[in-house]
Structure 1
Amino acid sequence: MPDYTSIETIRTLPGLRMAVLRGIPSPWSEAAKGIFHVKRLECVYGAQSDGDPDNAIAHYWGNSSVPVLLWNDDKPRSGWAEILILAERLTDSTPLIPDDAEARVDLFGVAHEICGEMGLGWSYRLVMTGDGQKGAFPAGVTRYLAAKYGHNPVHANAARRRVISILRLLSRRLESQEFLIGDQFTAADIYWATFANLIIPLPEELMPTVPMIRQAYDCKDEEILVAISPRLRAHQRRIYDEFLGLPVTL
């Protein structure tokens, strides 16, 4: 389970460090944590603390988005793919990217559909901000997030359809195979388990969450929920039970 230090502290340490938000199951951050856990990589986690400047992540790295991953003196990383590739470079323990080229292409395609721009997380975030004025969050928070995420009516109109399409794709994949990439546990399974919390969050006792966030993450859209097959829903819990560990510490 991660312990947290200050943002200021992780800036000066060597090794693997990551800036995150405390109490919020940001799927990009939780996926990175899950990758490090599975691969047994030691990482120091930093979150806003007493003594840090206000909005320390933006202060030091120019953007308030998380995660921000630091490795020795390398430039900061924040993209899901570059974080995964670094983790694979650092240790061959529990490979999460297949050796087979076709399976590898499959993995990065599925992972992009979950983590990438206009993927599941990106699109559902637009669904949560509604029309940019009223959404799953209180109005003031919705307006802030809509501005931060560059709320675009064209993208927003397509976002719900994209979410449903991706969920149906993932559901179909598990109809005839054990994992999202054939019969091999990969990063794609970690991405699904962590990003699923945006729509079907783990119970409070297994993932204590800021109340406003838990309420916003509790999807009420029946068509979206129906697109998650029972097997896909069970796969989220299986990945936590067998690989990521419970309860989740945010």
Structure 2
Amino acid sequence: MSRYPNGLRGRTAVVTGGAQGIGAAVVKRLCAEGCHVLIFDKSAEHGKAMQELLRSVGLTAALAVGDVTDPVAIRDAFAAAPAHWPTPTLLVNCAAGFVFEGLAATPDQWHAALDPTIVGLSLVTRAFADGLPERDADAAIVNIASISAHIAQDGYLTYNTSKAAVLGFTRCVAQELAPRGVRVNSVSPGTVWNANNERYHREVLGLDRATAEAAPEHGGKFLLQRFADPAEVAAPVTFLLSPEASFITGVDLPVDGGYLAV
């Protein structure tokens, strides 16, 4: 039986990339569940805006500003959690490099894609695991992958490769940390209607959400004929962190409106 009969309440969670998009939705959901949440994000501007948004609905979160590829920033981020909070036992790795290029990608583009998405993820995960008790940690990690990790897409070589690496990382670290009672899973979202996707569809494609979702090559490619809201990804992430998922580890959960089913 879990030592946390009230679910996630009172536990400490770290969310990388927690100031925007899926990460922000995860932060909001975990705060609402009663967690102490540390946002670890590269953008001070977006991080502070997220804190203000949470305050406006009666929630609070701590903020650490830094780069997930910087070991010193990672050390400082974990140290930024208020001293009266319990040791972090929940981790959500949302930070990633969004670089979309094919075989012509330069070394700099490969670094921009892989460094935050997989190198940074590994450094943060190691720091998190190092802070846990040696055994019976009752801890959980969720990594954000993508449907792009499972398929081939023109011009997406850098991004798809980085997200496919997240799947391999998740399985291997689940095996490595299982003896310590740490569960490690991932989720693979489909297209999420966040600020960046809204801007892309509006400015590049000239489409609002309704029009984009009605288009066969956009929303129409999902069985549910629409995009996801960030909160619809945050919900299964929260489940995988919770005691209700206590016998689930080493798996990827598609949250994709049925895209990978066909």
Shorter-chain TM band: 0.3 to 0.5
Greater fraction of residues in strand:
2
TM-score by length of 1: 0.34
TM value normalised by structure 2: 0.33
Q: In proportion to residue count, which structure has more helix? A: 1
